[in-house]
Amino acid sequence: MKVKTDVSLELNERLSLKLSENASQCLGDSLDLQKGLIMFLGSKPLCGEGVGFGVPAVEYSDRIVFSRAATIVKKDSELVKRFSIDTVQVKTWKDRFPLDNKIYHAVQSRLADAYRKKAEFRPVLARLMRLQSLAGIKLTNRSVESKGYVNETYRMSGNSVTITVDSSMLTDNDFARVYIFNEQSADFDVYQDEFEKLRDDDIGVWEEVKSRRAYLTNRRLNVTFGVENIPGTKLYRGRELLRPRLDWAGFCYSIPSKMQQFTYTVQIS
| CATH code (residue 28) | 2.70.98
Average pLDDT over residues 196-222: 96
> Does some domain include residue 219?
yes
Query: Does 67 share its domain with 137?
Result: no
**Least confident range of 35-49, 52-66, 127-141, 234-248:** 127-141
Query: Does 27 share its domain with 116?
Result: no
> Does some domain include residue 1?
no
> Does some domain include residue 2?
no
Query: Does 35 share its domain with 71?
Result: yes
Query: Does 182 share its domain with 255?
Result: yes
Query: Does 34 share its domain with 106?
Result: no
Query: Does 133 share its domain with 36?
Result: no
Query: Does 154 share its domain with 32?
Result: yes
Point out which residues pair with 214 in neighbouring strands: 193, 227
- CA–CA distance, 237 with 159 (Å, rounded to integer): 21
pLDDT on residue 156:
93
Query: Does 120 share its domain with 170?
Result: no
Q: Using alpha carbons only, how large is the chain's radius of gyration in Å?
A: 18
The listed range with the strongest mean pLDDT (83-92, 133-142, 246-255) is: 246-255
Residue 203 pLDDT greater than 80, yes or no: yes
- Sign, CA dihedral 101-243-250-149, equals negative
**Least confident range of 125-139, 165-179, 208-222:** 125-139
pLDDT for 54-100, tens place per residue? 999 999 998 999 999 999 998 888 999 999 999 997 766 656 666 66
Query: Does 185 share its domain with 247?
Result: yes
Residue 115 pLDDT greater than 60, yes or no: no
Question: With contact defined as beta carbons under 8 Å apart, do 262 and 229 qualify?
Answer: no
User: How does DSSP classify residue 179?
Assistant: E
This prediction's pTM: 0.86
Query: Does 36 share its domain with 77?
Result: yes
**Number of domains making up the chain:** 2
Q: Using 50, 70 and 90 to split pLDDT, how confident is the model at 267?
A: very high
Comparison of pLDDT for 219 and 25, the residue scoring more: 219
Question: With contact defined as beta carbons under 8 Å apart, do 242 and 130 qualify?
Answer: yes
Q: Indicate the average pLDDT of the chain.
A: 86
Query: Does 160 share its domain with 252?
Result: yes
pLDDT on residue 218:
98
Residue 125 pLDDT greater than 60, yes or no: no
Average pLDDT over residues 150-174: 96
Q: Which of 125-131's residues contact partners 24+ apart within 8 Å by CB, and which partners?
A: 126/242, 129/242, 129/245, 130/242
> Does some domain include residue 165?
yes
Supply the range of the domain harboring residue 30: 7-86+147-268
Residue 269 pLDDT greater than 90, yes or no: yes
> Does some domain include residue 214?
yes
Q: Using 50, 70 and 90 to split pLDDT, how confident is the model at 104?
A: very low
The C-alpha angle 170, 86, 114, rounded to 5 degrees, equals 100
Query: Does 240 share its domain with 182?
Result: yes
Question: With contact defined as beta carbons under 8 Å apart, do 239 and 193 qualify?
Answer: no
